[in-house]
Amino acid sequence: MPGTMFSQPNPQPGDGGQRRTGLIVGGAVAAVALAAGAFVLFGGDDEGNGSVMPGTTVLVAPTVDGTEPDETDPTVTDLPTTVPTTVATTVPATVPATLPATLPSDVAAALLGALPSAADVPDTWEIASNPDPAPPALSGPGLGYCNGPNGVSRAIAAGAGVQVHGTEFFVGNGGAFAVSAFWFEDTNAAASFVEATKRQVSECTSASPYTMPESEFDMFENGYGDDAVWNFMTAETKVQSTSPAGGVPTLLVHTKERGTTTVEGFEYGVIVDDITTFEQNGRVVLIFNLNGWHDMTGFANGEPDWAYTPTVPDLAGLVIEVRRTILDRLGGLL
């Protein structure tokens, strides 16, 4: 008899942080390999530092509100542009152009304090994993985009001083949502990190295969296929940069990975689907991630009720829920 799948997705990490041990940038996201491309840090493709000008009105990220990507850029592929009604908000005119004279004694604590907790989100959201004040720098198969360095590694190389991963939530439809924040020494370093992320994703031309043991992926019910090994391969990768006039340049990365394994002669499969936006606000890069699992095959009980295919509009709606609060709390760290 074919095995049955686990009762709910097993939170797993993404590119932004510790991928295989259950912490994306330090925490765990709702769908194992889902986090294949998760949390890399936002950014844009302009040559500037990507900082927000004080007193300007910007669009709540992720911003794919119909802005056409540069068709001359071979790294840009078409993504949906039917994002929910864009919400405008004003960036405080107090955003410093230079590093403030005094910073909180514990920048990591200040960053974590700015990210949403259970008290800041709808009651329907459930905690998937706790925050991590020091996610690890990792590199290799299954850890970063295209089996390269993860987001923390790229951030450190670009000059990041602090990296944190916030609380991750199951958002009621089978999806997992989380926010990470990286603080850099200056805006140029933050922009450099974003560019490094775009480069790593856009230069990936292979299927980037890797394996993950069932003990980590945890797709089957206990006692079945415990020694199985899942084989993952990139099924699709899309990257798009937008730089709306007067707004925040945003890098959006959408990856899909196909996982397969064989147990007792039965073949199983699943799609791990991950959407991440990287948004630079002065010295801080915010990484918004949404992922889910879907198209399960081979299981005796078919597709579970928590199967979920994330979409760009879905992520946009979730970002609107938390972004304003985060920016208000960041204050002098921007």
Q: With 80 as the cut, is the pLDDT of residue 98 above it?
A: no
The pLDDT value given to residue 117:
93
The pLDDT value given to residue 85:
34
The pLDDT value given to residue 213:
94
The pLDDT value given to residue 6:
59
Q: With 90 as the cut, is the pLDDT of residue 277 above it?
A: yes
Q: What is the mean pLDDT of the chain?
A: 73
Q: With 90 as the cut, is the pLDDT of residue 312 above it?
A: yes
Over residues 227-241, mean pLDDT: 92
User: Do 216 and 272 form a contact (C-beta atoms < 8 A)?
Assistant: no
Q: What domains are defined for the chain?
A: 33-333 (3.40.1000.70)
Q: Say which range, 79-93, 275-289, 309-323, has the weakest mean pLDDT.
A: 79-93
Closest by Cα among 301, 285, 316, 24 to 143: 24
User: Do 181 and 286 form a contact (C-beta atoms < 8 A)?
Assistant: yes
Going by pLDDT thresholds of 50, 70 and 90, the confidence category of residue 159 is confident
The pLDDT value given to residue 160:
76
How would you write the chain as a 3-class SS string?
CCCCECCCCCCECCCCCCCCCCCCCCCCECCCHHHHHCCCCCCCCCCCCCCCCCCCEEECCCCCCCCCCCCCCCCCCCCCCCCCCCCEEECCCCCCCCCCCCCCCCHHHHHHHHCCCHHHCCCCCEEEECCECCCCCCECCCCCHHHCECHHHHHHHHCEEEEEECCEEECCCCCEEEEEEEEECCHHHHHHHHHHHHHHHHCCCCCCCEEEEHHHHCCECCCCCCCCEEEEEEEEEEEEEECCCCCCCEEEEEEEEEEEEEECCEEEEEEEEEEEEEEEECCEEEEEEEEEEEEEECCCCCCCCCCCCCCHHHHHHHHHHHHHHHHHHHHHHC
pTM: 0.73
Going by pLDDT thresholds of 50, 70 and 90, the confidence category of residue 112 is very high
Q: Say which range, 10-14, 71-75, 196-200, 330-334, has the weakest mean pLDDT.
A: 71-75
CB atoms within 10 A of CB 68: 9
List, for residues 114-126, the tens digit of each pLDDT value.
Answer: 999 999 999 999 9
Going by pLDDT thresholds of 50, 70 and 90, the confidence category of residue 32 is very low
Name which residue leads in pLDDT, 142 or 17.
Answer: 142
Q: What percent of the chain has pLDDT over 70?
A: 67
List, for residues 37-65, the tens digit of each pLDDT value.
Answer: 333 322 223 323 333 222 222 222 333 33
Q: With 90 as the cut, is the pLDDT of residue 88 above it?
A: no
Q: With 60 as the cut, is the pLDDT of residue 99 above it?
A: no
